[in-house]
Amino acid sequence: MFKSLPKFVFFTGKGGVGKTSLACATTLDLASKGKMILLVSTDPASNVGQVFEREIGNRITKIATAPGVDAIEINPEEAAADYRERIVGPMRGVLPEVALKSIEEQLSGACTIEIAAFDEFTALLTDNDLVDRYDHVIFDTAPTGHTIRMLKLPGAWSGFLEAGKGDASCLGPLAGLEKQRDRYAAAVDRLSDRDATRLVLVARPRHSALAEVARTSSELAAIGIRNQHLAINGMMPEETGGDLLASALLKRDQDALAGMTPEVAALPRTVFALRSENLVGLAALKRFAAGEEDVVVDSQSTTNEKSGFPTLGKLVDDIEGPGKGLIMFMGKGGVGKTTMAAAVASELSARGHEVLLTTTDPAAHISETLAGDQPGLTVSRIDPAVETANYHAHVMATKGKDLDDQARAMLEEDLRSPCTEEIAVFQAFSRVIRESGRKFVIMDTAPTGHTLLLLDATGSYHKDILRHQDKVSRARLVTPMMRLQDPQQTKIMIVTLPETTPVLEAAHLQNDLRRAGIEPWGWIINSSLAAAETSQPLLRKRAQSEHEQIAKVRDTLSKRYAVVPIQAVEPVGVERLKGLCRRALDSAAA
């Protein structure tokens, strides 16, 4: 596994890259050498309990099946609920109910969950009496640079939110930090100590994942966390057996590694090969931790049931019915939202419809994906950097104009949050939404459900407009939020991958949208091996494991879905994109 590990090891990375598997395998590897290990998980999709075949929960638990290992799972949702109540509770009976609801909503998003989880494990990180019992403390998931920057800010946060000086992004969590300031400072110092702490950046060998690693690495280095290690998880083995799909996937992985930034390429690196078995269960993790060879016994019977999967083309048939409307593609980074949006846009325009594809994707990327013109298809690009800068300037010129230097610094930090970009971009998107009344508008990279809730719950747009209309005008008024909530005008497409964590994260997104009064219309399960053709034994075995997640979407998450096969050749160009919609492609021939 990893060599010469310090006392504290943090695994961080996007959902579905294998953080938990690598954290658990590292724990087992160290324990097998006689070390005492505490494994701490703050991953909302944690399966640490499943790995060790026993319930763990929010208490330190001795793992009988793994001598030398204790574990604790911090439930971020529960931690956030407790954290939220500590802040809001004292205000009950003091502030109006509408103000309390607004504050609670500001405290309901991803930033609060991350802060609350960090609040929990800083207690472990700084408890010397506890950590001195262990040779190593392994953390499954680490705080982002944004969270750490917030914890390092000087000044008093309490009262800032109540004074109305905050904005609808991530300021809410900061209101509860003051009492824990000394403990947070000690935790940040420990995180920055290269002799005590190593941060392992976990990524799949994909261009998008490694670009995210580059951003994370740079952001953490800028705040003093420089003891970093790159873990490439799931590299396609070189033994492809002449299979076209396997050979193409190997080349894709190699090209991604060759395209790393010089800074990321310079990091110490460990590469873990893609395995035929999912790393779930103690036996599988022990084999992986021990470096045992991946033995694949191939059955000659087919593992594919692709003929039974609904295709993307069927979804387009249903989308096409009204002849117009807003189609929004949502999902975590790296699941293929841009490709799916471009595919649907290309197919609808090919069927004779006027289509506007609006995206926050870099112009070069979407142009490369389309690789040509399509009659009836127009592309508009919203530049997130420009929109965020404009939004930032507006907030500082209005809400920030009368603040003192300390308060302005806090507002500046709040405006660095991911939510700020989403709000700014959504405002730009809102300008094109009304065009969906006469054509198809395909929107790539949409705001999350939490951001939509903030826009609505704080009265930033929707309620402000309603409040200033008379009864007759209000009856005729249609705001962007109202369009999103109307299934006759808007179809929300959730894009995911056929893997445990991406499906779980997509389910969380769906719940957020429902809280905002928005019902997703359909799901797209992208890059499926189960829907592809391959003779390579490792890929065939992995294809079988996807059926459980596809069944979960079909049976419990969405009545309408499509499965798109993984492609041996990237679906670049209008014809290939349209091909994704028209049939379940033989991916090896694609």
Residues with catalytic roles: 16, 18-21, 43, 501
- Exposure string of 364-387, with b = 16+ CB inside 10 Å and e = fewer, is eebeebbeeebebbbbebbebeeb
User: What distance in Å separates the CA atoms of residue 121 and residue 113, rounded to the nearest whole number?
Assistant: 12
User: What distance in Å separates the CA atoms of residue 192 and residue 537, rounded to the nearest whole number?
Assistant: 44
User: What distance in Å separates the CA atoms of residue 316 and residue 345, rounded to the nearest whole number?
Assistant: 9
The two three-digit tokens of residue 226, written as one number? 């420089």
User: What distance in Å separates the CA atoms of residue 176 and residue 185, rounded to the nearest whole number?
Assistant: 15
E-state strands within 80-190: 136-140
For residue 406, give Cα distances in angstroms to 155, 160, 183: 7, 11, 21
User: What distance in Å separates the CA atoms of residue 499 and residue 516, rounded to the nearest whole number?
Assistant: 26
> What is the maximum span of the chain, computed from C-alpha positions, in angstroms?
76
Residue pair 233/203 in contact (Cβ under 8 Å)? The answer is yes
Residues 6+ apart with CB under 8 A from 132: none
Give which of 357, 465, 21, 436 is closest to 204, Cα–Cα.
21
Residues 6+ apart with CB under 8 A from 68: 31, 34, 35, 36, 37
User: What distance in Å separates the CA atoms of residue 579 and residue 130, rounded to the nearest whole number?
Assistant: 58
User: What distance in Å separates the CA atoms of residue 336 and residue 319, rounded to the nearest whole number?
Assistant: 19
| Phi-psi region at 187: left, alpha or beta (left = phi > 0; alpha = psi -120 to 50) | alpha
Give which of 328, 319, 306 is closest to 349, Cα–Cα.
319
User: What distance in Å separates the CA atoms of residue 256 and residue 205, rounded to the nearest whole number?
Assistant: 6
User: What distance in Å separates the CA atoms of residue 20 and residue 503, rounded to the nearest whole number?
Assistant: 16
Give which of 481, 451, 459 is closest to 109, Cα–Cα.
451
Residue pair 536/294 in contact (Cβ under 8 Å)? The answer is no
Residue pair 540/526 in contact (Cβ under 8 Å)? The answer is no
**Which residue's entry shows tokens 């100590």?**
193
